[in-house]
Structure 1
Amino acid sequence: MRIQDIIEGKKEWRAHKARVKALPKDYQIVYKEIQKYLFKVGPVELTDGIGLLSGIIDLFEKGAHMGKDVLEVTGEDVAAFCDELIKDSKTYADLYQESVNQTVNEAMKED
């Protein structure tokens, strides 16, 4: 990774955080919980830029602009909202499951 890429990534992340801070307080709270959830469960692509997170902010900005409560945007079950966002994405849990299965299969072949 080039130094220029690191600098650009930091600029992008700072701009992203500024957008979050500009949201109404209830949206900020829910966004931060979504971010924590996604960082814990995956998806793997989440670390490749901030595309999914920016998309959530886009959605939240529209909802706030329309005067909607944040839970009108996400639904009452925020975790289910997150799961729906990443349903077709490979998660770290998927990678771990594959690793376990591969280890077991290789061990069984040795016996």
Structure 2
Amino acid sequence: MGIQDIIEGKKQWRAHKARVKALPPDYQIVYKEMEKYFFKVGPVDLPDGPLLPGIVDFFEGGVASGRGVLELIGNDVAAFCDDLIKDSPTYADVYQESISGEPGAAGK
């Protein structure tokens, strides 16, 4: 990874965060909680993957249609997050494999 890649990544992240700040306050609160959750237990490809920008797209659509954030995702934010990453390998899966010593053991 070169310096240009790092600079480009920072530009993309700042643009992403600007989109989040443009959301109404209730959407921002829920997004930040989701982001914390994903960075703690989320998919391994989170930094480079489409998950976070996809959530902002989804939220922007909800704002445009005049719906509240909890109307979109329901009352259980963690369950919504878990459903989004149910088929993705998570850091917890990687950790389980590392302590078991068997590759693929977490999927059993």
**Is TM-score (shorter-chain normalized) higher than 0.5?**
yes
1:87-98 pair list within 5 angstroms: 87-98=86-97
2:66 counterpart of 1:71: no
Structure having the higher Rg: 1
* 1:30-109 pair list within 5 angstroms: 30-49=30-49, 51-102=50-101
* Alignment length (residue pairs): 102
Query: Structure 1 stretches (4+) deviating beyond 2 angstroms?
Result: none
Superposition TM-score, scaled by structure 1 size? 0.88
1:21 aligns with 2:24: no
Name the one with the larger helix percent: 1
Measure, in 1, the Cα distance between the counterparts of 2:14 and 2:92: 29
Instruction: Tell me the distance in 1 between the aligned counterparts of 2:100 and 2:37.
Output: 25
Superposed CA RMSD: 1.1
Identity %: 73
- C-alpha distance in 2 between matches for 1:47 and 1:64: 25
* Cα distance in 2, alignment partners of residues 100 and 10 from structure 1: 33
Is 1:6 the counterpart of 2:19? The answer is no
Unpaired segments of 5 or more residues in structure 2?
A: 103-108
- In the alignment, structure 1 segments of 5+ residues that lack a partner are 104-111
TM-score (norm 2): 0.91
Q: Structure 1 counterpart of 2:18, which letter?
A: A
Shift of 1:48: 2.1
Distance in 1 (alpha carbons) for counterparts of 2:73 and 2:29? 13
Tell me how far apart the structure 2 counterparts of residues 74 and 10 of structure 1 sit (CA, whole Å). Answer: 29
